[in-house]
Each structure stands twice: as C-alpha cells, then as structure tokens.
Amino acid sequence: MIPIAETLLDWYACHGRHDLPWRQNRDPYQLWLAEIMLQQTQVESAKPYYARFLQALPNWQALAAAPQDRVLALWSGLGYYARARNAQRAAQEVVTRFGGHFPNTLEAAVTLPGVGRSTAAAVLASAYGQRQAILDANARRVLIRSHAIEADPKVSATQQWLWTLASALTPEDAHGYNQAIQDLGALICTPRQPRCTACPLVNRCLAHAQGRSHALPVTVNKAPKPQRCAFFLLVVDTEGQILLEKRPDSGIWGGLWCLPQAASDGGAFPILCSDTLHPLEDTPAVRQSLQAAWSRRLGLNLQLKALEEEQQHVFTHFQLRFRCVHARVLGSAVADSSATLRWYRPADALTQGLPTPVRRILRDRSGGC
C-alpha cells in the first residue's frame, strides 16, 4: 500500500477545483444533489442543471413535494432519468423517515433510492466530517494506476480489494482527501492521455514506473451495442398544437413526455433491428401500418405526410435509430388530453421534461423534423 494522502492534500490546496458550486458549503442536500448529478455526467455539463435545480427546489421538502413533471423538466437533457425519479423518492424518504435530515450513518444512507456506497460516503465525509472512503470512477482510476492493479475493475473481487485499499488510505480529513483524489483523476490522471509529468504521485506510481499508465485500468472488449428502431410521430392539430405522450415511469425515458412512437409493423417501441434489415424504410406498407397503429391507439384520424431522414441516439446499452413522421389530423376530431396524452403549443412543449432527441426535433421543427 502506497501512502498518498498527504501528497494529494498538498496538491489539492494549490490546484484543486475549489470554485465548484457544490464545494461552497457543507449542506447535505446540496452535496447529495451534486453527487447524484455527477453520476454519469461531466462536471461542466452538470453545472447549469445544478444551479437551476437548486433555485427551483432548494431543499428536501421542496423536492419531495414537487410534481414529477416539474422534476423531470428540470432534469431534461441531463440524461439517465432514473436518477431524477430516484432523487425525488430519496427526498421523500429523507422527509418521512429521517425527519428532513440526510441520515448520518453509511448503513442508513445507502437505503435511500439511487444512493450507493460511494455517494453516501462522499456526503457523510463532507457534510458530517466522517472518515468515509469514496470509490467513484476518478478515485478508482488513481488507485488502480498508483498500485498497478491489473485485474478487471468490474469483477467483484477487484472491487472489494479497491474498497479495502480506499478505506485504508483515507485519512481523518476525508472531506479534503476525497475531493483531492477526485480532482486528480479528473484533471491529471485522466482516462486517456494521463498527464503523468504533472502528477504529484509520479515518483510513487507503480503504473508510471512500469510504463503502463496508458494500459491501466484494463478494459474488457465490449460487444457491439444492439440497435433498436422506431418512428416518432409529429402530429399537429387544427390549432397548431403538438401531441405528446407520457412514457411509463419505468423503462426508456421513464416519466418523460415524448412524441408518440411505433415500430414499422405498428408494434411496441422500440424493436430490435440490424444492418441486414431495413425496418425504417419508407414504403406504402410501412406508412399504412404506422397510420393504422397510431390512429387506433391515439383515437385520431391521421394523414401521414413526410418521413424525415434517419437519426441516431446512443444509450448506454443500445443505439436507437429513428425517423420522424409528419402528420396532420383530418377533420375536426382530435384526441382528448389525458394523463398520458396531451396537446401542447410548441413553446410550451419545450418547457416539459423531454428526451434529448425529441427536444431536438421540436427545436428544429421550423427547418424540418
């Protein structure tokens, strides 16, 4: 085990990101919110969302009581929307189970929705001054390289060893140390092209001594992402309103408002597809199937118009290929607004919680789908 705490703390005092908005106080709610937003999201991307979210929902009680649509609208564009739903559930549990205070033990904190061991430890160390080790992606990478750990970091045994190492290396000033090791991983010991010559640990880093900084952590070859395909319906009524459909709380884009979707056979969204098949082709049979499926499900008499060019959106576990279909409502009959179907004026639609591809479609509507 290589002692690194003192060196890291000295480096952090001079080079750390002390100006980050969530480092300006020790408020548990603000620290927790930042930790949730920074899961799977880069710091610069999270900053504006963090500021808007705090301004609108400044404490546990406000988040717990907010309409889900409001929470998702504030989160819209940040991705990984289960984080937003879990965040609201966590706030509700903090209010009802813990009297409006973030629990002060690791065992209790990890029972909150969306709060894992590292997230809980980061909040406890910074808010309550506890000696709690973290193991986020940045900290894990620093430990793997400094100790030349060649095992797959995703394997359970490796994770257990890394937690043991992290706990042993974390000093009493866990708050400062945790921020220091995060910043070193984010600024110096980066995933690609680590800046070893600027690293305060360069003289004690085993990976650097072995000339293997770029090779660690080891990566396991990933299988190609499966592809899924769908059509999005952009239908406008006689008053110029756009129809949106609320997604189920679970699954893809859970709880968000979306353009109605369908597969080329009129079935559920999205279907698996491959390069050898062409489920997004514009053919009379496809148009007829889509029109019948949407008319039946939405209760509308539709006329499909243009099909725009194929677009793509990448998820963690698959790639979505989609085309946007323009349509108009025939006659005066329109679908009634309901809990899951609602007509919006274009400007109002953009204020809702929308998936990124749908937001892009609506913003670009004046120039095509």
Cα 16 to Cα 349: distance, rounded to the nearest angstrom: 40
What number of other Cβ atoms are within 10 A of residue 158's Cβ? 18
Print burial letters for 327-362: b (CB count within 10 Å at least 16), e (below 16).
bebeeeebbeeeeebbbbeeeebbebbbbebbbbbb
User: How far apart are alpha carbons 201 and 178 in whole angstroms?
Assistant: 16
Alpha helices, DSSP H, located in the chain:
5-15, 28-37, 43-56, 60-65, 68-75, 82-97, 106-109, 117-128, 137-146, 156-169, 174-187, 206-209, 284-298, 346-349, 356-363
Residue 203: what residue type?
A: N
Going from the C-alpha of 29 to that of each of 25, 306, 364, the distances in angstroms are 10, 48, 37
Q: Which of 14, 46, 16, 41 has its CA nearest to residue 30? A: 46
- The phi, psi pair for 322, rounded to 5°, reads -150, 160
Q: Which residues pair with 296 in a beta bridge?
A: none
* 239 catalytic per annotation: no
Cis peptide before 217 (omega within 30 of 0): yes
In contact, 75 and 353? CB cutoff 8 Å: yes
d(CA 89, CA 31): 17
Distances (CA, A) of 33 to 36, 84, 211: 5, 10, 38
Q: From the candidates 35, 239, 281, 309, which is the catalytic residue?
A: 35
Q: How many CA atoms lie within 13 A of 209 on its CB side?
A: 8
Placement of tokens 């140390």 in the chain: 177
Active site residues: 35
